[in-house]
């Protein structure tokens, strides 16, 4: 009996210690210091407010700004909506998805030529040499007029010059390098223009039947001038031009 009493006393004592320890643990859990969570670092990124289909011009209304855990931010995620507005989506951007720089084609971020062709225009390349190509001074973004020289069968097969396109946007140039006087010169061999479909037909025909000359325009000059052809039949009109 004495042994049983001792075991009972020990069990009661251990139970009392357990209750005291458990009570202390519960109090610690409910204390303000214990409940304070470590703050998670947040970063603001641009996300899609709606699903943006592939090859769509992005507007501000399609985007929103969200704060997400910094660990979840994609390395290419845009932080400023202005970096996406006006660009074209390269692929579908799902609603709520981070907008990535690599999935938005803009003029600032070099894209394939198709993304840089203005809407309703077409890109067409024409061959030029040093002199007809304004000595290589034509650059993407410039505006040019295109003159074509034909042996015109309707005018006694006389070499005749027409201005066939005015104020055409230069989208790209093809260059080759020539060494001259121990220095390298970059010369334009082709010029790619943005023109409407009807003008593209004229330039394609001219490429087969005529020769091209370009004139470089001032960036501020967008005037379209009414011009007639010029050849030996109206040669004297040079005094009036």
8-state DSSP, 99: P
State residue 51's pLDDT score.
94
Whether pTM > 0.75 for this model: the answer is no
| DSSP bridge pairs for 126 | 191
CATH of 42-105, one of 3.40.640.10, 3.90.1210.10, 3.30.450.20, 3.40.50.1820: 3.90.1210.10
Q: Is the dihedral of CA 7, 8, 12, 18 positive or negative?
A: positive
- Per-residue pLDDT tens, the chain, 241 aa: give them: 555 666 666 666 666 677 677 677 676 666 555 555 678 889 999 999 999 998 899 999 999 999 999 888 999 999 999 999 988 888 899 999 999 998 898 876 656 788 888 889 999 999 887 655 566 678 888 999 999 998 866 666 788 899 999 999 999 888 654 444 455 555 568 899 999 999 999 999 999 988 898 999 988 888 888 888 888 878 777 777 6
Q: Express the helix, strand and coil content of the chain in percent, nearest 5 each.
A: 30, 35, 35
CB-side neighbour CA atoms (13 Å) of 192: 14
State residue 179's pLDDT score.
47
Q: Is the dihedral of CA 224, 229, 230, 233 positive or negative?
A: negative
State residue 115's pLDDT score.
81
* Inter-CA distances, 28 with 16, 22, 25, 31, Å: 19, 10, 5, 5
Q: Alpha-carbon distance 16 to 82, whole Å?
A: 67
State residue 190's pLDDT score.
86
State residue 64's pLDDT score.
94
Domain spans in the chain, listed from the N-terminal domain onward = 42-105, 119-240
State residue 177's pLDDT score.
45
State residue 199's pLDDT score.
95
CB-side neighbour CA atoms (13 Å) of 147: 19
Q: Are 148 and 193 spatial neighbours (Cβ–Cβ below 8 Å)? A: no
Q: Alpha-carbon distance 229 to 156, whole Å?
A: 14
Q: 230: closest CA among 131, 159, 132?
A: 159
């Amino acid at each position: 009996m004495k042994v049983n009493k001792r075991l009972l006393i020990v069990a009661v004592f251990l139970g009392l210690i357990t209750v005291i320890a458990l009570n202390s643990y519960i109090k610690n859990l409910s204390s303000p210091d214990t409940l304070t969570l470590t703050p998670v670092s947040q970063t603001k990124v641009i996300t899609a407010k709606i699903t943006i289909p592939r090859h769509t011009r992005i507007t501000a209304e399609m985007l929103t700004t969200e704060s997400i855990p910094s660990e979840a931010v994609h390395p290419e995620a845009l932080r400023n909506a202005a970096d996406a507005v006006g660009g074209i989506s390269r692929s579908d951007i799902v609603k709520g998805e981070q907008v990535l720089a690599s999935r938005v084609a803009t003029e600032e971020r070099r894209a394939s030529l198709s993304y840089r062709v203005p809407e309703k225009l077409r890109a067409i390349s024409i061959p030029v040499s040093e002199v007809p190509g304004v000595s290589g001074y034509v650059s993407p973004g410039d505006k040019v007029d295109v003159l074509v020289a034909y042996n015109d069968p309707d005018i006694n097969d006389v070499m005749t010059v027409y201005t066939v396109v005015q104020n055409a946007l230069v989208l790209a140039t093809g260059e080759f390098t020539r060494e001259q006087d121990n220095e390298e010169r970059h010369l334009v061999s082709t010029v790619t223009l943005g023109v409407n479909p009807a003008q593209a037909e004229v330039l394609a025909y001219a490429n087969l039947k005529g020769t091209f000359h370009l004139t470089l325009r001032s960036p501020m000059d967008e005037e379209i001038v009414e011009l007639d052809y010029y050849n030996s039949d109206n040669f004297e009109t040079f005094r009036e031009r």
